[in-house]
A = this chain, B = another copy of it.
Amino acid sequence: MDDALDFSALVLALSGQLVQEIHTTVSQQGFADLRPAHGFAFARISAGGATTADLAEHLGVTKQAAAQLVEELVRKGYVERLPHPHDARARLLALTATGWAATRAADQAARAAVAAWREVLGETRFGELVTDLRRLAPRGPIRPAW
C-alpha cells in the first residue's frame, strides 16, 4: 500500500528524464547555448503577445530576472523585441526564425521521448494514462519547479 512514495519518485524521475532528453537532443541539434529553463520562456513567447513583464509572471520570477533572460536570448539570436502597438513603454517579444527552429526541435524531442513511452505501454494503455494525467495535473503555466 506504499505506492504513494513510489509514485512521487516515479513522477519526479519521469519528468527529470523528459527534461534531460529534450535538453540533450536540442543541444545536439545545434542549440547548445540553450538550457532547460529557456524552454519555459519559449513556451510563453511563442504563444504571442508577451512583454517582459508577462514573461516574468509566467516564469514566476522578478521582471529584472526576466529582462536579463530576454537580453540573453536576444543576444543569442532567438528572440527580438518589437515596439508595442498600444503602449510606448512596453516591447513586444517575438521569436526569430532561429527561435522557432529551436522550439520545433524541442517539440520534436518531446514527441520522440513520449513516442518511446507510448510504445512501451501500447496505444490503449497510453491513452488511458494521458486521460488520467489530464485529470490530475493543475492548469496554469508550466514553470521550473526547484
Report whether A130 and B12 are in contact in the complex, using a CB–CB cutoff of 8 Å: no
Report whether A36 and B3 are in contact in the complex, using a CB–CB cutoff of 8 Å: no
Report whether A15 and B15 are in contact in the complex, using a CB–CB cutoff of 8 Å: yes
Of B12, B18, B132, which one neighbours A121 at CB under 8 angstroms? B132
Report whether B11 and A11 are in contact in the complex, using a CB–CB cutoff of 8 Å: yes
Report whether B110 and A5 are in contact in the complex, using a CB–CB cutoff of 8 Å: yes
Known A8-B114, A120-B136: A16·B125 in contact at CB below 8 Å: no
Chain A binding surface, main DSSP class:
helix
Whole-angstrom distance between the Cβ of A46 and the nearest chain B Cβ? 12
How many copies altogether?
2
CA–CA, A142 and B30, complex, Å: 28
A71 interface residue (CB < 8 Å to B): no
Whole-angstrom distance between the Cβ of A124 and the nearest chain B Cβ? 11
Interface residues on A, range: 35 or more
Of B12, B19, B22, which one neighbours A142 at CB under 8 angstroms? B12
Report whether A14 and B136 are in contact in the complex, using a CB–CB cutoff of 8 Å: yes
Residues of B within 8 A of A11 (CB): 11, 14-15, 18, 133
A138 interface residue (CB < 8 Å to B): yes
A135 interface residue (CB < 8 Å to B): yes
CA–CA, A124 and B34, complex, Å: 41
Known A12-B18, A20-B145, A146-B19: A136·B110 in contact at CB below 8 Å: no
Known A11-B18, A18-B11: A5·B133 in contact at CB below 8 Å: no
